[in-house]
Amino acid sequence: MSALPGRLVLLGHPVAHSASPRFQNAALRAAGIPLHYETLDVTVEALDATLQALALVNGAGNVTIPHKEAVAARCVRRTPVAERCGAVNVFWHEGHELFGDNTDVAGVEFVASALLQRRTAGARVALIGAGGAAAAVLCAVERWEGAHVRLYNHHMPRAESLAQRFSAFTQVVPSIAEAVHGASLVVNATPVGMHDDALPVPLALLPEQAAVFDLVYRPTETAWVRLAREDGHRAADGEGMLLEQGALAFERWFGRHPDRGAMWRAMH
Ligand code: NAP
For ligand 1, whether the C-beta of 194 sits within 6 Å is yes
DSSP 143-181: TSTT-EEEEE-SSHHHHHHHHHTTTTTEEE-SSHHHHHT
Sheet (strand 170-172) strand order: 170-172, 148-152, 124-128, 185-188, 211-214, 235-236
The answer to whether 217 and 242 are in contact (CB under 8 A) is: yes
Q: Please report which confidence band the pLDDT of residue 67 belongs to, taking 50, 70 and 90 as the band edges.
A: very high
State in Å: Cα 130 to ligand 1 middle.
Answer: 7
* Residues facing 100 on adjacent strands: 78, 91
Q: Which atom of ligand 1 is nearest to the CA of 240?
A: 41
The pLDDT of residue 2 is above 70: no
- From 105, 102, 268, select the one nearest 189 (Cα to Cα): 105
pLDDT digit string, tens, across residues 160-207: 999 999 999 999 999 999 999 999 999 999 999 999 999 999 999 999
What lies within 8 Å, CB to CB, of 259 at 6+ separation is 26, 27, 30, 31
Task: Give 6 Cα–ligand 1 centroid separation in angstroms.
Answer: 31
Q: What is the mean pLDDT of residues 57-86?
A: 97
Read off the pLDDT band of 1 (50, 70, 90).
low
Active site annotation includes 68: yes
Pair 105, 140: CB distance under 8 Å: yes
74-133 pLDDT tens trace: 999 999 999 999 999 999 999 889 999 999 999 999 999 999 999 999 999 999 999 999
Return the best residue to mutate from 18, 215, 248 for the ligand 1 pocket (most ligand atoms within 8 A of CB). Answer: 215
Report how far ligand 1's centroid is from the alpha carbon of 151 (Å): 13
